[in-house]
Amino acid sequence: MIALVESIHRAFPNKPLVISEYGYCACTADRPEGDGRRVSVLLSQDEVFRNHDYVAGLIFFCYNDYRTHVGDKGAGALKQRVHGVVDLFGDRKPSYSDLQMESSPIELLEADGRAAELKVRLKTRATIPAYPLRGYKLRAIVYGDGNIPLEQVEAALPVLKPGDLHTATLKCTEPRASRIEVQVVRPTGLTAHWTTWRL
């Protein structure tokens, strides 16, 4: 993988590279490893790409399993390729969370302290995917016994550039907290990154 990326760069030294359709397909009989192998390939390939600053973008293949007449699994109308982090019906495989974290502009998210004064530390990626964060926010969801959410606290994040380190304090008032999930939330409302702090 490294040799291939570097050879393309040597051939086009003044051009940024966008890597498309990388990942792993566990869709043939000689690849029985399944979803776990998909994760290890994703992580190892991303590590290579992030160590080359001329790699400007990544397009993972693929989000979902799909039906196709050349499928390797299933029969009839359910003949399919199983490349995805979700199945034919949109149900998430374990690799979904790994792709979500790898696609996040957040490199590090840590929480420490107590519910009334939860210290949060985050660092944005300086490598792919790296871009300014605008309109993002921190969210803390406090859970009690029985995994029941009891309180939600939010705080706006300032504009953060690639490689920035930011600290914040979230103040929760719920005294019966057993754990707190801290999320970095995109302007769309979707979660970009998360961590769990157990009290």
Q: How confident is the model at residue 32, as a pLDDT?
A: 75
Rounded CA separation 38/69 (Å): 23
Low-confidence ranges of the chain (pLDDT < 70): 27
The number of residues in the chain equals 199
Q: What is the pLDDT of residues 46-90, one digit of tens each?
A: 999 999 999 999 999 989 999 988 877 888 888 888 889 999 899
Residues 85 and 148 in one domain: no
Helices 2-11, 35-50: axis angle to 10 degrees equals 40
- Residue 34 in contact with residue 25, Cβ under 8 Å? no
Q: How confident is the model at residue 83, as a pLDDT?
A: 85
Q: Total structural domains in the chain? A: 2
How high is the mean pLDDT of the chain? 92
pTM: 0.86
Residues 117 and 171 in one domain: yes
Q: How confident is the model at residue 1, as a pLDDT?
A: 76
Domain end, chosen from 51, 80, 102, is at 102
For residue 50, CA distances in Å to 42, 57, 159 come to 12, 10, 23
Domain end, chosen from 85, 102, 119, is at 102
Q: Buried b / exposed e across 179-199, counting CB within 10 Å, b at 16+? A: ebbbbbbbeeeeebbbbebee
Tokens, residue 116:
């009334």
Residues 129 and 186 in one domain: yes
Residues 77 and 154 in one domain: no
Taking the CA of residue 165 as centre, how many other CA atoms within 13 Å lie in the half-sphere pointing to its CB?
2
Longest dimension (CA), the chain: 61
Domain range for 25 is: 2-102
Domain end, chosen from 102, 122, 141, is at 102
Q: Give the domain CATH number at 130.
A: 2.60.40.10
Residues 49 and 110 in one domain: no
